[in-house]
């Protein structure tokens, strides 16, 4: 499934109608959530039926397309299903009970195959439901001529701080060719450097939020100086939202380009399975960790891994910093110690590079432990029992450490 996005160009009257469409979709979503809370045993099919009741009860709700109402009900059920899934998996902490959507500077309304018409030249889109928003010109870099109109399964109108956008969900599998590099990399993310690989290469941490703090503080002070209900306060809120949106887009652009380049340059990528939700509980590092966006970077790594058919393996981060990548012995070190020096074998290396090598070793050992039906077992693979009780392939571990030296 591909998602293409373009900005909508229209008049102020049309933008006001889009706001009304988004408010109606939010009302349907919140009403379905309330219906689920008040009636035990309600499933997603009951929520779809409840949309018809809402359309009969509220005359203005009929303006929104019936399929758009069902899409809003599906959003409500996705929040409910996520709540049940977190309870079933016994996720620690709060279980993210479904909340009602409030009026914000952003929002969206989703259509299925009805309620919109795309022009033949793929340059304009017309919304033809009861709101009669009219025709909008689309401004973007994606060309929709390569896809049939039947492939467009969903159309979503999104409101952001800098305008209105339309997103097209296209039923098309994305597969891109790639040339084998015969190179495997382990990635250790950090705050001093965004990541360090097992070959010693480092990428600087851009720190987009830190660099924009001055502009954010100035825009936020403008909001606080305005009285509530004042039109100038609304303008100041929109400007503050545009500053945050710029930071978000720069961070995403960096994560996407970095992840794509990393996947294309290697045949295997090993990363740490970090619990960022627990790490941000440290209030001294929470802002820096959130600014680094490790979770976003990992999501795009896994996405491009599927696109280019490159395995992206997440391993447990335990002892990747303390263990020696040359001999495997534990060398305890404080966070301020940036150099790894093994007292057993005398191996000297950068702290982050040593951790990246350990991550790659753990990933390769995990692949070697897969059942024989899922991997090719070469003669001479010797299974040994390590000191911590973990079964590892000794030959793979020795070969990996030798190749990384």
C-alpha distances (whole Å) from 208 to each of 215, 283, 301 are 12, 19, 20
pLDDT value at position 121?
Answer: 87
Three-point CA angle 179, 365, 258, nearest 5° = 40
pLDDT tens-digit profile, the chain (405 residues) = 888 999 999 999 999 999 999 999 999 999 999 999 998 888 989 999 999 999 999 988 989 999 999 999 999 999 999 888 888 887 777 667 888 988 777 889 999 888 899 888 889 999 988 888 889 999 988 888 888 888 899 999 999 988 999 999 998 888 888 888 888 999 999 898 999 988 889 999 999 999 999 999 999 999 999 888 888 998 899 899 999 999 999 999 999 999 999 999 998 999 998 888 888 888 888 999 999 999 999 999 999 999 998 999 999 888 888 888 888 788 888 888 888 888 888 888 888 888 899 899 888 888 776 665 444 433 233 332 333 334 444 455 555 555 555
For tokens 């109108």, name the residue.
157
Run of H or E residues at 296: helix 294-307
What local confidence, expressed as pLDDT, does residue 397 receive?
55
Residue ranges per domain, the chain? 2-170, 184-315, 339-404
pLDDT at res. 391: 40
Burial class (CB in 10 A: 0-12, 13-18, 19+), 212: middle
Task: Kindly compute the dihedral angle of the four CA atoms of residues 72, 78, 83, 84, in this order, to the nearest 10 degrees.
Answer: 130
Prediction pTM value: 0.83
Cβ within 8 Å of residue 145, ≥6 positions away: 122
The answer to whether the CB of 144 falls within 8 A of the CB of 122 is: yes
Residue 55 and residue 72 in contact, taking contact as beta carbons nearer than 8 Å:
no
Identify the pLDDT of residue 380. Answer: 32
3 state DSSP class of 208: helix
pLDDT at 392: 42
Secondary structure of the chain: what % helix, strand, coil (to 5)?
45, 20, 35
User: By the 8 A CB rule, do 345 and 327 touch?
Assistant: yes
Question: Residues in the chain, how many?
Answer: 405
Strands (DSSP E) found in 161-275: 163-170, 184-189, 193-197, 202-204, 268-272
Q: What's 145's DSSP letter?
A: G
How much is the pLDDT for 379?
29
Is there a contact between 353 and 200 (Cβ–Cβ < 8 Å)? yes
């Amino acid at each position: 499934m591909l998602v293409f996005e373009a900005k909508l160009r229209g008049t102020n009257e049309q933008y006001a109608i889009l706001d009304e469409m988004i408010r109606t979709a939010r009302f349907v979503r919140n009403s379905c959530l309330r219906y689920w809370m008040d009636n035990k045993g309600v499933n997603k099919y009951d929520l779809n039926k409840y949309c018809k009741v809402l359309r009969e009860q509220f005359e203005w709700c009929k303006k929104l397309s019936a399929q758009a109402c069902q899409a809003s009900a599906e959003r409500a059920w996705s929040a409910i299903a996520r709540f049940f899934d977190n309870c079933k998996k016994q996720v620690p902490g709060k279980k993210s009970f479904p909340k009602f959507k409030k009026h914000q500077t952003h929002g969206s309304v989703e259509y299925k195959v009805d309620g919109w018409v795309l022009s033949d030249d793929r340059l304009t889109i017309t919304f033809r439901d009861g709101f009669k928003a009219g025709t909008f010109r689309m401004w973007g870099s994606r060309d929709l001529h390569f896809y049939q109109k039947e492939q467009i399964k969903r159309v979503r109108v999104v409101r952001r701080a800098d305008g209105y956008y339309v997103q097209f969900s296209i039923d098309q599998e994305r597969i891109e060719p790639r040339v084998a590099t015969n190179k495997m990399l382990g990635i250790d993310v950090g705050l001093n450097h965004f990541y360090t690989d097992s070959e010693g290469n480092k990428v600087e941490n851009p720190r987009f939020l830190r660099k924009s703090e001055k502009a954010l503080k100035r825009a936020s002070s403008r909001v606080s100086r305005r009285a509530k209900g004042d039109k100038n306060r609304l303008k100041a809120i929109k400007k503050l939202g545009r500053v945050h949106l710029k930071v978000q887009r720069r961070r995403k652009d960096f994560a996407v380009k970095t992840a794509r380049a990393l996947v294309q340059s290697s045949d295997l990528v090993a990363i740490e399975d970090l619990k960022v939700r627990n790490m941000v509980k440290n209030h001294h590092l929470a802002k820096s960790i959130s600014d680094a966006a490790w979770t976003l970077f990992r999501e795009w790594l896994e996405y491009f891994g599927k696109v280019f058919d490159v395995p992206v393996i997440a391993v447990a981060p335990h002892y990747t910093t303390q263990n020696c990548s040359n001999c495997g012995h534990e060398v305890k070190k404080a966070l301020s110690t940036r150099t790894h020096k093994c007292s057993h074998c005398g191996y000297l290396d950068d702290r982050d590079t040593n951790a990246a090598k350990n991550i790659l070793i753990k990933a390769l050992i995990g692949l070697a432990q897969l059942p024989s039906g899922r991997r090719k077992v070469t003669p001479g693979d010797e299974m040994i029992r390590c000191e911590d009780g973990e079964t590892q392939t000794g030959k793979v571990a020795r070969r990996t450490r030798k190749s990384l030296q």
